[in-house]
Structure 1
Amino acid sequence: MIQFPNAKINLGLQLVEKRPDGFHNLVSCFYPVGWTDALEILPAQGEASFTLSGLPVPGAPTANLCWKAYELLRKDFELPAIQMHLHKVIPMGAGLGGGSADAAFTLKLLNQQFELGLSDENLIEYARQLGSDCAFFIQNQPVLAVEKGDVFAPIEVNLKGWHLLLVYPNLAISTAQAYAGVSPRFPEKSLKTILAQDISTWKTEVVNDFEESLFPKYPVLAELKAQLYEMGAVYASMSGSGSTMYGLFQTPPAGPLPFPREYSVWQGVL
């Protein structure tokens, strides 16, 4: 059985306060997009195994979130040995949630394939044990994420028909790096209120708070954002705490894309 774990972008990201546990409370809109990995799970003849292809993934296979998801369910269910293979396409350290999506889709695929009978609510509780934004990918629909990014509220944001361009400048930014320079503060205006406005107002009002500290450190990010606006984006931003920049366009950018060959680029209609 095969599925295609998809990425997400952040429409705004407000870091509102540091928590007693060392994490940060945030407010962000998570929005699913079509850049995908490929995940296959089959029953194994012998011992369970996990293999990788595509982009190189650092660390031992047993440290991968897909394997951890399998181990997590195996504590509560008598799962058979499996052959699991992940073909990695979504860049890592990119703010796109690719690793979290892989873990969540592993939970969903195991639940489906072995008829475990877990509800979405059950799967969300398992996903929360694997990472802050893993739970989002269980239902995989636009939400307003709060607290650590694992508590969700409905939000009416519809970008259907908009053209999305994602640009990853081959620069991995770890979560620890990103959070090291932030200064949390409560916003004057709620993100939910701003996102309810016409998208033409987002350029000046929808902010990713990580940009303030990361742009001076990595000037290529600010340059990419400016370039997306020059290409005609109605709104452009960094996604999450990573280095992917994205632009929302009413029509696809004209002509060849002006990015270096070593950059990873995805574009499509939402």
Structure 2
Amino acid sequence: MKQTRIHCQAPAKLNLFLHVTGRRADGYHLLQTAFQLIDRCDTMDIAIRTDNAIVRTNDIPGVSAETDLIVRAAQLLQQHTRCQLGANLTLNKILPMGGGVGGGSSDAASTLIALNHLWQTELNKAELMQLGLQLGADVPFFIFGENAFAEGIGEELQVIQTPERWFVVIEPGVQVPTPAIFSAKELTRDSKPVRIADFSSTAEMFWKNDLQTVACALFPVVDEAVTWLSQFGNAKMTGSGACVFCAFADEAAADKVINQVPDRWVSWKAKALSRHPMADLL
């Protein structure tokens, strides 16, 4: 019997490093980064509609249904495949917006994966990744479904193995607009390109996030969070901010730090994942 509904997870990501190596003629920045999946997730319930309507069934503060990436993802797949079915989309949002953990991109990717399965539109992973790129540079990674070394604008992906560990993540309480970071004249855009072998063999303390200096200057609270968390290890910002993270060998070590985080910040722990929880659907 054909499946008509699905409960899906949309995991967050951390950028273990992020270097800006140049800029294309169209203005997009050339990046190198290492994406790490973690088990902190938004969740969604998606059900088939027999008409072709795409309906987000719940309100999300600050995000209209028309601009929501999950609605846009569903519409894009529908148009691309000429599918006559629709969907009800219910999103439980816990990942911070403007936090650099990929929440919106992950939601969009999980929507594409789920509806490709429910609607039986039968796009393969590469086709779905190509479609997802129209929604954002991070979307293909979440469809790729494994930790990855990324190049280009983030869409050229190679699998990497990362250690089992835990992360403490601090939300400093601001939304960092990505365009403001990438358009800043202070942004370093000429980091020397590295090889995937370099990342695998070099201590992580030597890897940085080129966007962090700009974000810290524009949003001092991000700098405060980095400084505070740095007393426990190699803390850095993820993506274009605002979230800040530090890795720990085990859950007990992460808990010890979580218990000390100042009350002015939201903080949480997450475990490293080796693959996307929905990877079996592709």
TM-score, length-scaled by structure 1: 0.89
The answer to whether the 8 Å contact 1:52/1:88 transfers is no
Partner of 1:268: 270
The answer to whether the 8 Å contact 1:51/1:61 transfers is no
Alpha-carbon distance change, 210 to 80 in structure 1, aligned in 2, over 3 angstroms:
same
Partner of 1:98: 103
Alpha-carbon distance change, 256 to 25 in structure 1, aligned in 2, over 3 angstroms:
closer
The SS at the match of 2:62 is coil
The answer to whether the 8 Å contact 1:4/1:36 transfers is yes
Partner of 1:67: 71
| CA-atom RMSD in angstroms | 2.0
The answer to whether the 8 Å contact 1:194/1:202 transfers is no
Which ranges in structure 2 are unaligned for 5 or more consecutive residues? Answer: 1-5, 273-282
Partner of 1:81: 86
2:41 maps to 1:30: no
Deviation, structure 1 residue 193: 4.3
Deviation, structure 1 residue 256: 5.5
The answer to whether the 8 Å contact 2:54/2:75 transfers is no
Deviates more, 1:212-221 or 1:134-143: 212-221
Partner of 1:130: 135
Q: From 147, 170, 174, give the equivalent of 2:173.
A: 170
Deviation, structure 1 residue 68: 0.7
Deviation, structure 1 residue 173: 0.3
Deviation, structure 1 residue 146: 0.8
Identity of aligned residues (%): 24
Q: How does 1:182-201 map to 2 (within 5 A)?
A: 182-187=187-192, 190=194, 192-197=196-201, 201=203
TM-score, length-scaled by structure 2: 0.85
The answer to whether the 8 Å contact 1:27/1:191 transfers is no
The answer to whether the 8 Å contact 1:43/1:80 transfers is yes
Partner of 1:239: 238
Deviation, structure 1 residue 83: 1.1
Aligned length: 260
The answer to whether the 8 Å contact 1:14/1:28 transfers is yes
Alpha-carbon distance change, 158 to 59 in structure 1, aligned in 2, over 3 angstroms:
closer
Amino acid in structure 2 at the alignment position of 1:265 = S
Which ranges in structure 1 are unaligned for 5 or more consecutive residues? Answer: none
The SS at the match of 1:196 is helix
